[in-house]
Amino acid sequence: HLDDQARTLWDDSCISCERDIPSGETRISRHSESCMQRYICRFPRPLSGRSYEFARRVWTRPSDGGCYAICKSCPLPSGDGPSQYCLVKEYVSACCIEGTEQGTRITTVYFENNQARPGLNKIAVPKGLLPFWFKYEASLRVFAKAKQVNTRRRSLDDPPADDVVGDGGDGGDSSG
């Protein structure tokens, strides 16, 4: 759900979504979802594009099957991004994605000071933020459907339990 490369496929407001490489590092794992990141996006006219620089922490809890994420604005080690975008200096986001008997529940908390006048925010929310969340939800549905298909395929490839070779774990002869 947080695949930065896939985000450019469904998020048409995304100009750039890059992980910040700490000094001294030459590469970063694209599979690690906890990272420092810069996200640059378009805002509805007459607002200029925005640059978000933040730390993201993602974890799962096997006890409840949930996936949790927290993002908070912070200066990145590589410095500020392109100056033609308005840097959002205050940003906090959190979400919990968990399976339920009825499907999937997504709980989000979101705050940002996008440095726009209140009247302009009345344009940004219905034309920018709400469509973003609808696309985000749709992309999660596609991801969940693909994961279900992959899980079913993997379970068909697994050998049946009675085909397991071994001594039953007691170290003795199981022939009785």
Q: Please tell me whether the peptide bond between 160 and the residue prior to it is cis, using omega within 30 degrees of 0.
A: no
Residues 6+ apart with CB under 8 A from 77: 20, 22, 23, 36
Q: Are 44 and 124 in contact (CB under 8 A)?
A: yes
**13-69: per-residue pLDDT in tens?**
889 888 887 667 666 666 667 788 899 988 877 778 889 999 999 888 888 878 899
Beta strand 86-88 pairing with 50-61: parallel
Least confident of 74-83, 120-129, 151-160, 165-174: 165-174
**63-117: per-residue pLDDT in tens?**
887 889 999 999 988 877 778 898 998 999 998 988 888 877 888 888 888 777 7
Residues facing residue 135 across a β-bridge: none
The pTM assigned to this predicted structure is: 0.68
Angle made by CA atoms 18, 21, 24, in degrees to the nearest 5: 165
